[in-house]
Amino acid sequence: MRALKQRPLLVMGNWKMHGDQAKVRALLRELCAAELSPGAPEIAVLPAFVHLADAVRVLKGGPIAWGAQDICRHPDGAHTGDVSAAMLVDYNCRFVLVGHSERRRSHGEGDALVAAKFKAARRAGLQPVLCLGEDLVQREAGRASQVVTRQLEAVLASCTPRDLRPVVLAYEPIWAIGSGAAAGAEQAQEMHALLRGCIAARGLEYARDTRILYGGSVCAENAAALFEMPDVDGVLVGGASLRAQEFLAICRAAAAFQAR
Ligand code: PGA
217 lines ligand 1 (CB under 6 A): yes
Judged by DSSP in three states, 162 sits in helix
Active-site annotation, residues: 100, 172
Question: What span, in angstroms and rounded, lies between the C-alpha atoms of 99 and 105?
Answer: 10
In terms of residue numbers, what domain contains 183? Answer: 2-259
* pLDDT class of 45 with cuts at 50, 70, 90: very high
Instruction: Work out how many domains the chain is built from and give that number.
Output: 1
237 lines ligand 1 (CB under 6 A): yes
% of the chain surpassing 70 pLDDT? 97
Q: Is the pLDDT of residue 119 over 50?
A: yes
Kindly give the number of the ligand 1 atom that is closest to the alpha carbon of 236.
9
The residue that leads in pLDDT, 1 or 53, is 53
**What average pLDDT does the segment 139-148 reach?**
98
238 lines ligand 1 (CB under 6 A): yes
Q: Is the pLDDT of residue 3 over 70?
A: no
177 lines ligand 1 (CB under 6 A): yes
Q: What is the pLDDT of residue 1?
A: 42
CA of 224 to the centre of ligand 1 (A): 17
**What average pLDDT does the segment 131-135 reach?**
98
Kindly give the number of the ligand 1 atom that is closest to the alpha carbon of 216.
5
Q: What is the pLDDT of residue 203?
A: 87
**What average pLDDT does the segment 192-212 reach?**
93
Q: Is the pLDDT of residue 131 over 60?
A: yes
In the beta sheet, which residues pair with residue 236? 12, 215
CATH code, domain carrying 7: 3.20.20.70
Q: What is the pLDDT of residue 2?
A: 44
What pTM was computed for the model? 0.96
For 147-183, the pLDDT digits (tens) are 999 999 999 999 888 888 889 999 999 999 999 999 9
Kindly give the number of the ligand 1 atom that is closest to the alpha carbon of 177.
5
* pLDDT class of 230 with cuts at 50, 70, 90: very high
Name the average pLDDT for the chain.
95
Q: What is the pLDDT of residue 217?
A: 97
CA of 188 to the centre of ligand 1 (A): 14
Q: What is the pLDDT of residue 38?
A: 66
CB 93 within 8 A of CB 66: yes
**What average pLDDT does the segment 115-137 reach?**
97
**What average pLDDT does the segment 192-206 reach?**
93
Q: What is the pLDDT of residue 259?
A: 87
How many CB atoms within 10 Å of residue 60? Answer: 11
Question: What span, in angstroms and rounded, lies between the C-alpha atoms of 60 and 62?
Answer: 6
Pocket-testing residue among 45, 46, 177, ligand 1, by greatest number of atoms within 8 A of Cβ: 177
**What average pLDDT does the segment 228-249 reach?**
97
Q: Is the pLDDT of residue 20 over 50?
A: yes
Strands (E), the chain: 10-14, 42-46, 64-68, 95-98, 127-132, 168-171, 211-215, 234-237
CA of 222 to the centre of ligand 1 (A): 13
Instruction: List the residue whose alpha carbon is closest to atom 2 of ligand 1.
Output: 238
172 lines ligand 1 (CB under 6 A): yes
CA neighbor of 1 nearest in space, from 234, 260, 230: 230
For 5-18, the pLDDT digits (tens) are 779 999 999 999 99
% of the chain surpassing 90 pLDDT? 89
CA of 101 to the centre of ligand 1 (A): 10
